[in-house]
Amino acid sequence: MLLRTRLLCCTLAATFGRAEEVRLLEGKVSFELPDSWTRGKEQSKQALASFSAKKGDAWGSVTRGTKGIKPEGLTNYSKAKVAEYTKGLSWLPNLTWLKQEMVTIDDRNWADLRFIGKKEGAKDPLNGLLYTRILATSFDGQLLEFIFSSNTDPDRATKVAIDRMVDSVKVRE
């Protein structure tokens, strides 16, 4: 585990320059924020923190739900979230789900959802706009969601940065 953490920090530092460790919920939740991103003001009572890319083309938040959710409820959460986004973005001609899976990370169940508005004829799965990554789990009986999006930046690097931030999430209870 320690080796994995050190390798991740080195990878993030090489990719982002300097990365800041963001700690939430008394240090029980953390992830790496690249120096190309900044912390914003919370926008809702459920938001623990909000973030945006300094160049203004991407943003994200960490929220904690007010309704209880147990680990076994994550599958239904995932199906509902996919249906919500698919219906809500029906105007987008090339909405492509890159991932909609239940995964286990450090013995914890997570819903891992990723979609993009792909460019016509794109060979690279990240070639497009409106990229969103959602990672959600049950934490102390509440939904804990990491949602990061970019809707104006066609640059693959922004999407890779979002994935690396989300992949660096650690939860300790």
Model confidence pLDDT, tens digit, residues 143-169: 999 999 998 777 888 999 999 999 999
Q: Assess if residue 73 is contained within a domain.
A: yes
Model confidence pLDDT, tens digit, residues 21-57: 999 999 999 999 999 999 987 667 788 999 999 888 8
What CATH number has the domain bearing residue 46? 3.40.1000.10
Q: Which domain holds residue 42?
A: 37-171
Q: CB of 171 within 8 A of CB of 104? A: no
Q: Assess if residue 26 is contained within a domain.
A: no
* Number of structural domains the chain divides into: 1
pLDDT at 65: 85
Instruction: Give the type of residue at 110.
Output: W
| Full-model pTM | 0.86
Q: Assess if residue 92 is contained within a domain.
A: yes
How far CA 155 is from CA of 15, 160, 162, 168, in Å, comes to 15, 9, 12, 21
Q: How far apart are CA 12 and CA 153, in angstroms?
A: 20
Q: Which of 77, 136, 81 is nearest to 103 (CA)?
A: 136
Q: Assess if residue 6 is contained within a domain.
A: no
pLDDT of 68 strictly over 60:
yes
Q: Assess if residue 27 is contained within a domain.
A: no
Q: Assess if residue 20 is contained within a domain.
A: no
pLDDT of 17 strictly over 70:
no
Q: H/E/C letters for each residue in the chain?
A: CHHHHHHHHHHHHHHHCCEEEEEECCCCEEEEEECCEEEECCCCCCEEEEEEECCCCEEEEEEEEEEECCHHHHHHHHHHHHHHHHHHCCCCCCEEEEEEEEEEECCEEEEEEEEEEECCCCCCCCCEEEEEEEEEEEECCEEEEEEEEECCCCCHHHHHHHHHHHHCCEECC
Taking the CA atoms of 28, 138, 157 and 91 in sequence, report the sign of the dihedral they define: negative
What the block records as the tokens of 11 is 């990878």
